[in-house]
């Protein structure tokens, strides 16, 4: 399972139905959920780093590494092979601390652009669905 931890408020805006649709389409181990924290609460959580010891933590940050969708699918599949739960952290308005980035197993950049939080959540949701479809060998993803 993938746990998405997002800084900011849970919005039920124009992207919500798309995210919900992706959540309904994926199956284990690519299924995912969201937990929301106010930015300050997220900073405290990350400073305490209370993730399960065997969890794989990904931080979404523009200073991270850009990867392709098939690479993301492969990365997740490798972690699921070891029965590891995956946590993807989308920081608050000012991102996450350098300490959090250094502690993460992987820092993932969507590119050099910066996105609003709701759009970042949609991007992560779609990429998890795409990774799931790639793992199944479907024709959703093509190059």
Tens of pLDDT along the chain (143 residues)?
A: 999 999 877 766 777 889 999 999 999 999 999 999 998 899 999 999 989 999 999 999 989 999 999 999 999 999 999 888 999 999 888 889 999 999 999 999 999 888 888 899 999 999 999 999 999 999 888 77
Residue 94, pLDDT score: 81
Q: pTM for the complete prediction?
A: 0.93
Identify the structural domains of the chain with CATH numbers, from first to last. 2-136 (3.40.1280.10)
In angstroms, rounded to a whole number, what is the distance separating the alpha carbons of residues 114 and 33? 23
Residue 93, pLDDT score: 80
Structure tokens belonging to residue 32? 């995912």
Residue 76, pLDDT score: 97
Structure tokens belonging to residue 84? 């590891």
In angstroms, rounded to a whole number, what is the distance separating the alpha carbons of residues 71 and 81? 15
The crossing angle, in degrees rounded to 10, of helices 117-136 and 16-25 is 20
């Amino acid at each position: 399972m993938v746990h998405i931890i997002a800084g900011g408020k849970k919005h039920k805006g124009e992207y919500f139905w798309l995210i919900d649709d992706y959540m309904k389409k994926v199956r284990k181990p690519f299924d995912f959920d969201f937990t929301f924290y106010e930015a300050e609460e997220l900073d405290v959580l990350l400073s305490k780093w209370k993730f399960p010891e065997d969890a794989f933590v990904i931080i979404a940050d523009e200073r991270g590494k850009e990867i392709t969708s098939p690479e993301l699918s492969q990365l997740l599949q490798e972690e699921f092979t070891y029965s590891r739960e995956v946590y993807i952290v989308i920081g608050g308005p000012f991102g996450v601390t350098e300490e959090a980035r250094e502690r993460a197993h992987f820092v993932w950049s969507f590119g050099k652009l910066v996105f609003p939080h709701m759009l970042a959540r949609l991007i992560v949701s779609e990429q998890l669905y795409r990774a799931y479809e790639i793992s199944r060998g479907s024709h959703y993803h093509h190059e």
